[in-house]
Chain A
Amino acid sequence: MKVIGQDTQRVDGEALVRGNAVFADDIKLNNVLHVKILHSPVAHAKILSIDVSRAQALEGVEAVFTHKDFKTHYYTTAGQGYPEPGPRDMRILDSTVRFVGDRVAFVAAETLEIAEEALGLIEVEYDELPTIFDVEEAMTSNISLHSESGKSGIHDAAHNVAAHLDAEIGDIIKTLESSKFVFEGTYSTPFVQMASIEPHISLTWLDENNRLVIRTSTQVPFHVRRIVAEVMDIPVSKIRVIKPRIGGGFGGKQEILNEELVAAVTLKTGRPARIEYTRTEELFAARLRHPELVTFRLGFDKNQILTAIDLNILENCGAYGPHALTVMSVTAQKALSMYKAPSIRVNGDGVYTNLPIGGAYRGYGAPQAFFPLESLMDEAANAMNIDPIELRLKNIFKVGDDIPIAKILGEGREGFPMVLYSTEVAACLKQGRELSGWEQLRSEKQIGRYRRGVGVAVAGQGSGIPGIDMGAAFIKMNEDASFNLQVGATDLGTGSDTALAQIAAEVLGVSVDKIIVYSSDTDMTPFDTGAYASSTTYISGSAVKKAAENCKAMILEQGRLLLDNDKAEIEGTFVVGGDGKQISFEDICTKSFYTDEQKQIMGTASHMSYDSPPPFNATFAEVEVDTLTGTVRVIKIVSVTDAGQIINPRMAEGQIEGGIPQALGMTLSEFMPFDDKGRPINLDFNSYHIYTARDMPELVVRFADSHEPTGPYGAKAVAEIPINAPAPAVTNAVYNAVGVRIKHLPIRPEVILGAMSKNGAN
């Protein structure tokens, strides 16, 4: 292959490094209104009265919106899957607020400062209601957060259960009873925020035909169009959504957030509108990773082969449940797709509380699965006196294995049969063992204030959502043998436009600079479900490959016509007749445009898949624990990934290097505490600590030699997989260093000191 597997320059790279106007907010709209939201200061209340007269009277205020301005219509901000599998439990503005940060009203004004001032003039009388912050309490409480009629898709509103899942294969009870070893542990993962460089930002205006244009930092332009059309009660044909470059999404832009608000302003006033979340708003009024309380029971036979995996999930959805069912489904599905066990069972509840809303975040339920699973595997290895790597090698799924959970548990509905066509997780483990210095570090006795340890964890993910994700592509040829590639797929900073261009270039036999990519514009590009679930390379990439092949077939057909030779074939960028005659791609297209056999050479295709081949990863962490303070520093991460054929190594490496610090933040530093009223405490980066360049450990990133037969050129996904294993690798390393087993993230240094004191380790 000439282009696949090469570090080509990013198609958007030059514009980005030159600081060109590429992002949503990089355009200047005339006469724009600035929109600000009044967020609820209380966690649960009925709005008794809301007086906007003073705000409305403020000079420069154009409009103030409250729940009285919208008819009661419940929808979900999560668009994936249609009909959406999640609850329809949210209004654009409601007369009840359910968390600190919920929308109370919004203002459109001539300037941001006036809009902010107007918020302070809105007088709201709240009737505060009892609050629930704990998931277990929520299920037994007599307080129901979503008891209103008209809501749909809620599993058990009376008990605040937004979503439920259960599945069983084999007889888990009997199998556990007959197992030689049984291990059980309960673990929790916290709220964490995506912390994209670019916050949520949306702009709207009416075009010359009075159609609503939404320019927004989103991962799902087509879902934005569909949902805004529904909420605003206007036809889809009246809306165009444009996704420019995005400064990171990580799942946080996988649902609509404020697009419907600015749409409402523009539709009411006829004027352009703009909203941009501040960093503080991102931290409490956007979306967060769902905290989960997860209990695993693992059964093993006398040969340390898994007999049973029993999984119980309690997911905290926060105040609304846009991704309640699907995130929990992924937790279950990924946890039960790593190791082979004859008996498996899962039971899960996604529960409402008066806390911020859980949403999609890179990994989407998988980090919540692998932290407990891989921690308990480590415990099991220690207890059974077997090397943790060997225990994993004994039990992982192999090529040709059926993964039974995939059939009975899809994402929000029944799944599809799944056979593993490629896995190199064993190779990942073996390579990581060498690169991490595993043997030496494990055998070193640790004494003194600073003690080092090494830990390992493995993880899997998916490549798109089987039976749900669909991408389409359109390619047309130009006279200079360049090609316009139009895709609905959404590049959110990942470089997917470049990867898709590489796939097209490889098929067409041209260089990447001959592929002009235009993506994510609902008027101009074909449909795509969006950038999530690690789907773009696998799903949209396959659509691009097919479209390019169709285009190439048309080039050949046209070349044969022009050469009047049915046997002619493509060689490089020529159609060659074998009779000494040949015609270049340029000439074929030029003649086709202007003189002979006139037509547009083009190709189009769609792709969906019932397969979702898992990429795999083995992560090794070396840590240093300060036994005087309890703090942990990660010294080195070795991350070896099986992502099939790598399309662009440099970009793939960037994905891995980007996922690791997010995982380390969840493990060590990203604390999101709330006070007893449900008010968030850490509302800026001075108190909510994400990993920075200064904090990064040494990173060793490698890819296994792998080929996935169902993927474009053998590719699987790479976007989410790196975030799943670092947390358990780090906590397993902490155990190796000081003998303390961490079960709740983020790691609290005081907990380490306390446990060490109990163990006599210090």
Chain B
Amino acid sequence: MWSSIEQIIKPDTLSEASVLLKESGSVLFAGGTYLVSLKDAGVHTLLDINHLLSDEIKMHGDEIHVDAGCTLQEIVNFDDARLNGAVLSACPSKNIRNQRTIGGEIARMRLDSDLLVFLFAAKAKLLLSHAETPIEVSDWYGNGIIVKVIIPTHHVKLERVALLDSAPAYVIVGYNEMQDIISVCVGGKISKIMFFQTKPEPAEADVRKFMDEVEASFSNDHLGTPAYKRHLVSSLLQEMAVAK
């Protein structure tokens, strides 16, 4: 536990948790994870919401409904091939999958999470504690407590480029081609998740603009130049589009 943490509070309701969360220095704690992306010495209160989150996963029509308290291992056990690859790549360790929840995975917004890229590309929706209608994961900016993740019918293909199979990928590309729309998501060692939607046969200028933004979002590091990473995204997208 971080040395700055002074107390752990177990709110009675998610509403109460939402109110407490607005106080500076408070973070949510669920599934063994502090739901913030970086260690922060200013954090003094953990809001333990484990008891408030459900952990059911089920089919609802063509959609998969996953409660935010579902661990990644429970998702693997649900045995949906569409999800499994992303989950196993995002978290190769079963011990850790038994702790990490899908809610936490989204809340932490780890840019190199294969699962997050998958959910973006799949146009997954989030049901928040304070809202009645779900919003797309790409429209969520960290406000509210996630209670459910809804994964609609999709044809997501996921490609990752990593130094090792067990290592976080430095480029992750999700490609989802539906009848009337294509969604693309790019993650990895990147400054922000890049998301792009278009009708089939997109305008060349739109694609170029997106790819320019993708390139700009990568840094020049030991894993390669932004131009190399752009090349990876471009090549992988072409492969996935051709292989449809």
Give the distance in Å from the alpha carbon of A210 to the alpha carbon of B244 in the complex.
76
A334 CB → nearest B CB, Å = 28
Q: Decide if B119 is an interface residue (CB 8 Å cutoff).
A: no
Most buried by A among B163, B221, B231: B163
A750 touches B224 (CB 8 A): yes
Of A116, A692, A749, which one neighbours B3 at CB under 8 angstroms?
A: A116
B167 touches A689 (CB 8 A): yes
Give the distance in Å from the alpha carbon of A695 to the alpha carbon of B167 in the complex.
9
Q: Decide if A130 is an interface residue (CB 8 Å cutoff).
A: no
Contacts of B21 in A (CB 8 A): none
Stretch at the interface among B149-157, B209-217, B232-240: B232-240
Contacts of B225 in A (CB 8 A): 750
B3 touches A669 (CB 8 A): no
List which B146-205 residues lie within 8 A (CB) of chain A: 161-168
| Contacts known (A750-B224, A750-B225); A691 close to B164, Cβ less than 8 A | yes
List which B73-108 residues lie within 8 A (CB) of chain A: 92
| Contacts known (A628-B235, A749-B224); A695 close to B165, Cβ less than 8 A | yes
Q: Decide if A694 is an interface residue (CB 8 Å cutoff).
A: yes
A671 touches B222 (CB 8 A): yes
Give the distance in Å from the alpha carbon of A695 to the alpha carbon of B163 in the complex.
10
Q: Decide if A6 is an interface residue (CB 8 Å cutoff).
A: no
Q: Decide if B140 is an interface residue (CB 8 Å cutoff).
A: no
Give the distance in Å from the alpha carbon of A116 to the alpha carbon of B3 in the complex.
8
B228 touches A695 (CB 8 A): no
Give the distance in Å from the alpha carbon of A750 to the alpha carbon of B221 in the complex.
11
Q: Decide if A753 is an interface residue (CB 8 Å cutoff).
A: yes
A678 CB → nearest B CB, Å = 15
Contacts of B3 in A (CB 8 A): 112-113, 116-117
Of A112, A669, A750, which one neighbours B164 at CB under 8 angstroms?
A: A669
Of B165, B221, B223, which one neighbours A694 at CB under 8 angstroms?
A: B165
A753 touches B231 (CB 8 A): yes
Residue of B nearest to A749 (CB): B224
A631 touches B166 (CB 8 A): no
A669 touches B228 (CB 8 A): no
Contacts of B236 in A (CB 8 A): 628-629
A515 CB → nearest B CB, Å = 37
Give the distance in Å from the alpha carbon of A633 to the alpha carbon of B236 in the complex.
18
Q: Decide if A226 is an interface residue (CB 8 Å cutoff).
A: no
A19 CB → nearest B CB, Å = 16
Size of the chain A interface, CB-CB below 8 angstroms: 26
Give the distance in Å from the alpha carbon of A750 to the alpha carbon of B170 in the complex.
12
Residue of B nearest to A628 (CB): B235
Of B161, B162, B224, which one neighbours A748 at CB under 8 angstroms?
A: B224
B164 touches A629 (CB 8 A): no
B161 touches A631 (CB 8 A): yes
Q: Decide if A673 is an interface residue (CB 8 Å cutoff).
A: yes
Q: Decide if A668 is an interface residue (CB 8 Å cutoff).
A: yes
A25 CB → nearest B CB, Å = 19
Q: Decide if A303 is an interface residue (CB 8 Å cutoff).
A: no
Contacts of A631 in B (CB 8 A): 161-163
Q: Mark A112-153, 1 if CB is under 8 A from B, else 0.
A: 110011000000000000000000000000000000000000
Q: Mark A665-693, 1 if CB is under 8 A from B, else 0.
A: 00011010100000001000011010110
Of A113, A746, A753, which one neighbours B228 at CB under 8 angstroms?
A: A753
A750 touches B167 (CB 8 A): no
Contacts of B239 in A (CB 8 A): 628
Of B164, B168, B221, B231, which one neighbours A668 at CB under 8 angstroms?
A: B164
| Contacts known (A673-B221, A673-B222, A749-B224); A686 close to B92, Cβ less than 8 A | no
Give the distance in Å from the alpha carbon of A576 to the alpha carbon of B232 in the complex.
78
Give the distance in Å from the alpha carbon of A630 to the alpha carbon of B162 in the complex.
10
A692 touches B92 (CB 8 A): yes
Q: Mark B4-27, 1 if CB is under 8 A from A, else 0.
A: 000000000000000000000000
B167 touches A669 (CB 8 A): yes
B37 CB → nearest A CB, Å = 12
Give the distance in Å from the alpha carbon of A749 to the alpha carbon of B236 in the complex.
15
B222 touches A748 (CB 8 A): yes
List which A627-642 residues lie within 8 A (CB) of chain B: 628-631, 633
Give the distance in Å from the alpha carbon of A630 to the alpha carbon of B224 in the complex.
11
Q: Mark A229-241, 1 if CB is under 8 A from B, else 0.
A: 0000000000000
Contacts of B232 in A (CB 8 A): 628-629
Contacts of B161 in A (CB 8 A): 629, 631, 749
Give the distance in Å from the alpha carbon of A692 to the alpha carbon of B165 in the complex.
9
A695 touches B224 (CB 8 A): no
Most buried by A among B168, B224, B235: B224
A680 CB → nearest B CB, Å = 11
Give the distance in Å from the alpha carbon of A302 to the alpha carbon of B231 in the complex.
46
Give the distance in Å from the alpha carbon of A595 to the alpha carbon of B146 in the complex.
82
B164 touches A692 (CB 8 A): yes
Give the distance in Å from the alpha carbon of A630 to the alpha carbon of B231 in the complex.
11
A668 touches B224 (CB 8 A): no
Residue of A nearest to B2 (CB): A113
Contacts of A628 in B (CB 8 A): 232, 235-236, 239
Residue of A nearest to B229 (CB): A750
A692 CB → nearest B CB, Å = 4
A280 CB → nearest B CB, Å = 11
A166 CB → nearest B CB, Å = 34
Give the distance in Å from the alpha carbon of A694 to the alpha carbon of B92 in the complex.
8
A695 touches B166 (CB 8 A): yes
Residue of B nearest to A748 (CB): B224
B88 CB → nearest A CB, Å = 10
B110 CB → nearest A CB, Å = 9
Contacts of A668 in B (CB 8 A): 163-164
B222 touches A689 (CB 8 A): no
B96 CB → nearest A CB, Å = 11
Contacts of B235 in A (CB 8 A): 628-629
Contacts of A692 in B (CB 8 A): 92, 164, 166
Give the distance in Å from the alpha carbon of A748 to the alpha carbon of B221 in the complex.
11
A671-B223, A692-B92, A749-B223 given. 18 additional CB < 8 A pairs? A112-B3, A116-B3, A628-B232, A628-B235, A631-B161, A633-B165, A669-B163, A686-B168, A689-B164, A689-B167, A691-B164, A692-B166, A694-B166, A695-B165, A695-B166, A748-B224, A750-B223, A750-B225
CB pairs A–B below 8 angstroms (8 shown): A117-B3, A628-B239, A689-B164, A694-B92, A695-B165, A748-B222, A748-B224, A749-B163
- Which A-B residue pairs are the 3 nearest by beta carbons? A113-B3, A750-B224, A669-B163
